[in-house]
Amino acid sequence: MTTYKKFCDLHHQQTPLILGNVWDVNGAKTFEAQGFDAVGTSSAAIAHMLGYHDGEEMSFSELEYIVKRIIANISIPLSVDIEGGYGRKASEIADNIKQLSDLGVVGINIEDSLVNKDRKLRPIDDFSGSISEIKSYNEKYNINIFVNVRTDPFLLGIANPLEESLKRISAFEQAGADGIFIPGVTNQDEIKAVISASNLPVNVMCMPELPSFQILSDLGVKRISMGNFIHNSLMNDLEIKISKVKAEQSFDCLF
């Protein structure tokens, strides 16, 4: 079985795929050692590691370098968060995806919002057209990659986020998306409504009020992501450790 086929199958099993989100080689190796079936990059974590804000401030070549190092050191499937695609034309995005596929990446996340000064949703037709072009490009060049489409109405806190999400999910499914990612949704009834509205595997993300994995499994969620929360938590722990070293004038807290 190819790594791509294995990754696809992980979205159609009885229990959800718990995706470890990573930003460096050691983190990816740790998730693999702990028995995780797949990992995905966190764009925010990588950006912060490199001194950028999230929102495509880093270059695609910088992202590509990190991905290359991660994939060279693990044997489990890797999906890559490409944010808005690191290009405004579908052809540019498709070329970027091909480069990742050539490295061995088997999945990507691409989101329907863009950051200028503020993050805003792209028009449905515009983004759906891009997804359709990307899928056509992948088929033309035999690129096997799972296209997980992220839609951001809940994340952005817009009015009637469920209604807007359902419109977008329908359009993106018709455009050829392989999965739907809805960060920010936590209400069980809204999660159920999203799942009922699509034949695609639905992905949710770590949030303070997200239900337990068992409840999400019972609702029909097929993929659960950690986002940037693992990275944030570890950075908080680092700050505490550094503060203790300085305050105690000792390295005792490290052991």
Helix 60-71, helix 25-33: angle, nearest 10: 40
For all residues of the chain together, what is the average pLDDT? 97
Spell out the domain ranges in the chain: 3-228
Pairing state between β 113-115 and 119-121:
antiparallel
Please spell the DSSP secondary structure of 90-103, one letter per residue. HHHHHHHHHHHHHH
What mean pLDDT comes out for the span 233-243? 97
At 85-114, the pLDDT tens digits run 999 999 999 999 999 999 999 999 999 999
At 33-66, the pLDDT tens digits run 999 999 999 999 999 999 999 999 999 999 999 9
| Predicted pLDDT at 189 | 98
Query: Are 39 and 74 in contact, with CB atoms under 8 Å apart?
Result: yes
At 155-213, the pLDDT tens digits run 999 999 999 999 999 999 999 999 999 999 999 999 999 999 999 999 999 999 999 99
| Predicted pLDDT at 118 | 86
Task: Give the Å distances, CA to CA, from 251 to 114, 162, 234, 248.
Answer: 44, 50, 18, 8
Place of tokens 């294995």: 6
Place of tokens 């370098």: 65
At 120-157, the pLDDT tens digits run 999 999 999 999 999 999 999 999 999 999 999 999 99
Both tokens of 63, joined, read 């992202």
Closest alpha carbon to 36 in 80, 94, 77: 77
Query: Are 185 and 194 in contact, with CB atoms under 8 Å apart?
Result: yes
Counted residue by residue, the chain has a size of 255
CATH topology of domain 3-228: TIM Barrel (3.20.20)
| Predicted pLDDT at 135 | 97
What mean pLDDT comes out for the span 233-238? 97
| Predicted pLDDT at 117 | 78
- From the CA atom positions of the chain, what is the Rg in Å? 18
Both tokens of 219, joined, read 């609702």
Quick check: 116 pLDDT over 90? no
